Every structure is written in structure tokens, then in C-alpha cells.
Chain A
Amino acid sequence: MQKNKGNPAMTATLVEKIIARAAGKARVTPGEIVTCKVDLAMILDSGGPRKIWPRLKELGVGVWDPEKIIVVSDHFVPAVDAETAAILKLARDFVREYKIKHFYDMKGICHIVLTENGHLEPGMFACGGDSHSTMGGAYGCYMAGFGGIEMTGVCITGEIWTRVPETIRVDWSGAFNTAVVAKDVMLFLCRQLGMDNAFTAIEYGGDTIAAMSMSERAVLCNMAAELGGETGVIAPDAKTLAAIRAGGTEPKPDALSWRSDDGARFAARHNFNAAELQPQVAAPHAPSNSGGVDDYKGVKIDQAYIGACVGAKLSDLQMAASVLTGRKVASHVRLLVAPASQKIYAEAAADGTLNILTDAGAIMLASGCGACAALGAGVLSEGETCISTTNRNFKGRMGSNQASVYLGSPYTVAAAAAAGAIADPREFLQ
């Protein structure tokens, strides 16, 4: 990598390197269209087997590689009616029929389950049948989301075409204030960078990111989807390798070499100071409709939701618990908590986090997508207001399109649950 110094024409960003490798080329240029070999394909109960299986039958073909296709049931779990039960049964039958090696049935939300089980590694080119597949980029791989037809193509051929994205580099330096976390960064960035950064990858860096835990970094890559990017990515470091090992996989010897070259060309560079960031809240009906928590203080809520891939990891539940220790959820509010995976559920039970939450009055829900996309328990009625740790608040996303959804960090959501209205979490942590 040193040898590229001083010759920008020979440098490449992390994303360009991964795509070039997957496309079998020495280098690629943003804007170029290439076909990539896929290292891992993740499909889900929602848009996976039930869309793909009929097409496989129509074409009279099987799947490309049952070891590289990972099936997760998470969107419709647990079944709430005969229809969702049939969708889940179909996914199970599909797994049996095509001898899929890795099937995570009701183990948790797909993006979380992938990392818990060591499936993602730096330099991989991965595809997921869900828009927040960008979350995988926290592990130094290229992972993007695709629709049902395209995932059918991937499952048959093991290939997909892509237009090489430009990379926008976003650096953060300094330390966060109390109660400021990765979620606040993303609500801020949605406002700052806008939500239409199509054909770009967002690469995060800087000392603030280096100091973040893997589960906080994952939030940045998850919500690269809200920025409209192809994906989000963070170059691997010792923390990345430790997380991969914790998932039971020994990282490849070249893992740390997957990073942007010094002097690599970025479409834009942004530098932000972490110390200046306040807790953020996004108001209905877009993540970019955000501002400091003070702007929304006092908005009365009916429901607080701590859930989703982005907002119900162990660290998220712990953040909520730190606010709710010795407190009660306001009497007119229901606090619903859906840990992002079974493993997280067990860990939160073991370390006492769940006790704190349920003592405060939280209602525990199953690990799955649930209310995040109005697929399971916890949806909203017309005229109701919810504050949520999820990633999107588009009209109708969590139920009635006459409901109002605010987004915040687990700290902010827990503070609102206790206060009964949107409140500054810093006042609860002193």
C-alpha cells in the first residue's frame, strides 16, 4: 500500500478493492458496471424462499451453492396467523429441499445473526435480500441489499452486476458527550448529507469510530441505507477480528489489509467533531427530519419501542437500562422491548439488564422484525405517537399511516418512556 503513495491514479478505496477482487479485475473505476462473484447470499422469510422457489421451479434449476446461501426467518416470526405460518413453513421446506447449510430459524434478526455466527469477514462481497444488509459493512466487507428477483438471480448463478459506487468518506474525531451514540450520528448525518446519496458507498473513519464498539459501528453501516447509499463500510481493526473470532471464525491472514489506500480518491470528504453532537431525534416522517432533542422536548408519547437490527443489540438494551434503573415507565406509556436476537435475549437476562427493564414496566417481545416494519406485535393505531430505536419512520412504517413515529437512540427512547414525553436523556444519567 505504501508504494501507491504519491500516485493517486494507482490508489483505490476499500469498496473499489473489494469489488475489483469480486469482479476478477486488477482495478475498477466508479461508474463502471461489473459482474461480481458473490461470496455470501442472505435471504429471508419475507422476500426469500417464497419469491425464489417458484422461479427456480419455473426455470427448472437448483441453487448455486447451498453452503453460501444463508436463510434467516426473522420478518414474520413468530407467526401471527395462518398466512405468516405458511410463509415460515415454506422457508423451512425450502431449506430442506435445497439442503441449505445455514438456516437461522427464529434465532434473531438477520443482520445480527450473520455477525453472531462469524459469517462476515473483511474483503467479502455479500448480497442480502433486505435493504439494511449494508450493516455487514461494519465487518470490512461489501454488503448491499437487493430485491427478490435479483436475489433469485444470485441464488441461481452466484453472480450479480453492480455499478461501482463512488465512496464518500465521513470522519469523526473526538469523544461523545454523555448519552450521545452512533444512532445520534446517523440521525444527524441523514439531515446533513441527505437521503439521496445513490451510487455511493459511505466509508466511516476517524478516532471516534476507532473507539466505537462493533455494535455501535454496525449502526453507522446499517443506516447508510437511510443515506441512500449502496452500502456503508468501515475498515477492519483488532476489534473487528475479535468479533469475527467470537463468532467462531478465524479471520484470514490478510484481513487487516482491506482498507482504502492512503491518498485514495473520495467523491467527498466530511469531517465532524463528536464533542459538538447533541442527542438527536427524527420527527415524522423521515429520518432526515431531525434535530437536537431539545427541539422535540415535551412531545407526548403513547408507545416507546426498543427493537430492530439497528436498535436492540445488547449494548442498546444496556443503554435503556442505565436510564431506567430505579425508574418506572410513565403510566400512560407502553414500553415494548424486542431484543434483536435470542443470544442477546439470553445475555441480557444473564447480566441483569432484562430485570431492570421489566422492573421499570417494559413488555418483552420476541426477537424479530416485529413492529419495526409493522409485521409483528407492537404496531400503532391512527393518532398514536411512538418513539422508537428503529431506523425509518416513513408514513405507515409501524402501522397506521396516521401514526407519528419519532426516532432516537436507546437512551432517548428510554428517557421518553420514563417521562411520558420526549425528554433529554442527559437529565436521566446524572
Chain B
Amino acid sequence: MTATTGKAWCFGDEINTDLLAPGLYMKSSNEVMASHCLESVAPDFAKMVQDGDVIVGGHNFGIGSAREQAALSLRILKVGAVLAESFARTFYRNALNFGVPCLFFPEYKEINQNDRLKVDSVSGTVENLTSGKQYRVSPIPAHLMEMIVDGGLMPHLKKKFAKAG
């Protein structure tokens, strides 16, 4: 599945790793951590988010620490994709390596909370089903998408070597 359709959750600029993975829960399980994801900016997010929903951020999404739980929480919550004007390097790499597609999306301000979005990471298209507008984004190549669909780098390697061996 290289495409996702879901509701837009809009968060704006500078969403940092403390908002994504609050330090208070660093010692909790990954699942508990995920249940607190983004709660200080959207208290209902973790409860209400549905499989395939799309997070829309602005400048420097994922800025902060290298903590992998920031990206892992989005995976656990089955977020379909993250669109943002720009990403912090470590968050971006962690997210793709945990199977969460991240796409650079300069037009993020044109998306409203609850819009229905269809995002195809491989063809590089974003469709706002609510407004009818279409956008082109820089795609994720199919071979990397394989890793993302497998759930990230480790599951991908596991699958690959199980097949080979």
C-alpha cells in the first residue's frame, strides 16, 4: 500500500519531539508513550486518530532530540503519512526507517483540519478530497517504499533474510 486516505490533522510549525513523545513517558512502554502523542497540542489526537489519517505540519517538523519514540508513536497509531513544509533530519530518517512516509509539502497552509486527503507516496500526489485540489510532491522511490510498507528497516531486513534463508 503506497497510498493512504484519511483525515487531516493540522499542527503548524515546529512540532517538536517533546510534543510527539513527551519526556514524562520516556520510561513507559512504546504503546503508553504513543497514547500521549501530541496531547499537549491536541488532547484527543491519540484517541481519535484512525488508520491512515494524515498529519500536516509546517516548518521543521520533528525538531528536537533524536528519540526514536517520536516517530515510532506515529507508526503505532497507524498514521498514514506526514506532510510538512520541512522536517528535522533525525525525525525524518527515523520516521522512514519506522515505516511512516514523510513528504515535503510547501502548500501545508491550504489544508484544513478534518479535510479528507489521499496521499500517494510513490507517484508523489496529494489530493484534497474535500476541496478538490491536487498537489505534486517529491515522491518516495518504490524500493524504499517496500521498506516503509514492511514497517521499517528492521522488519524489512527480517523479511528479506527469511526469504533468502
Residues of A within 8 A of B (CB): 31-35, 55, 58-61, 146-147, 149-150, 152-153, 156-157, 161, 163, 196, 198-199, 228, 230
B161 to A198, Cβ gap below 8 A?
no
**Distance in Å: Cβ of A132 to nearest Cβ of chain B:** 14
From the candidates A31, A34, A228, A230, name the one contacting B104 in the complex (CB within 8 A). A31
Residues of B within 8 A of A198 (CB): 60, 86-89, 92
At the interface, yes or no: B163 with Cβ under 8 Å from chain A?
no
At the interface, yes or no: B66 with Cβ under 8 Å from chain A?
yes
**Distance in Å: Cβ of A374 to nearest Cβ of chain B:** 16
CA of A188 to CA of B104, assembled, Å:
30
A153 to B87, Cβ gap below 8 A?
no
A33 to B97, Cβ gap below 8 A?
no
B157 to A153, Cβ gap below 8 A?
yes
A60 to B89, Cβ gap below 8 A?
no
**Distance in Å: Cβ of A102 to nearest Cβ of chain B:** 24
Given A33-B141, A147-B66, A196-B60, the answer on whether A61 and B89 have CB atoms closer than 8 Å is: no
Residues of B within 8 A of A (CB): 60, 63, 66, 68, 86-90, 92-94, 96-97, 104, 138, 140-141, 143-144, 153-154, 157-158, 161, 165
Residues of A within 8 A of B87 (CB): 198-199
A153 to B104, Cβ gap below 8 A?
no
Residues of B within 8 A of A34 (CB): 141
A149 to B161, Cβ gap below 8 A?
no
A33 to B144, Cβ gap below 8 A?
yes
Nearest residue, chain A, Cβ from B141 = A33
Nearest residue, chain A, Cβ from B138 = A31
Given A150-B153, A153-B157, the answer on whether A60 and B60 have CB atoms closer than 8 Å is: no
B153 to A149, Cβ gap below 8 A?
yes
**Distance in Å: Cβ of A57 to nearest Cβ of chain B:** 12
Given A161-B144, A163-B92, the answer on whether A150 and B165 have CB atoms closer than 8 Å is: no
Nearest residue, chain B, Cβ from A157 = B157
B141 to A147, Cβ gap below 8 A?
no
B63 to A196, Cβ gap below 8 A?
yes
CA of A195 to CA of B121, assembled, Å:
29
CA of A61 to CA of B156, assembled, Å:
14
Closest 3 CB pairs of A and B: A198-B89, A31-B138, A153-B153
**Distance in Å: Cβ of A38 to nearest Cβ of chain B:** 15
Given A60-B165, A153-B157, A156-B157, the answer on whether A228 and B144 have CB atoms closer than 8 Å is: no
CA of A228 to CA of B88, assembled, Å:
9
Nearest residue, chain B, Cβ from A29 = B138
Residues of B within 8 A of A161 (CB): 96, 144
22 A-B residue pairs with CB within 8 Å: A31-B104, A31-B138, A32-B138, A33-B140, A34-B141, A35-B141, A35-B143, A58-B158, A59-B157, A146-B93, A149-B68, A152-B153, A152-B154, A153-B153, A161-B96, A161-B144, A163-B92, A196-B60, A198-B86, A198-B88, A198-B92, A228-B89
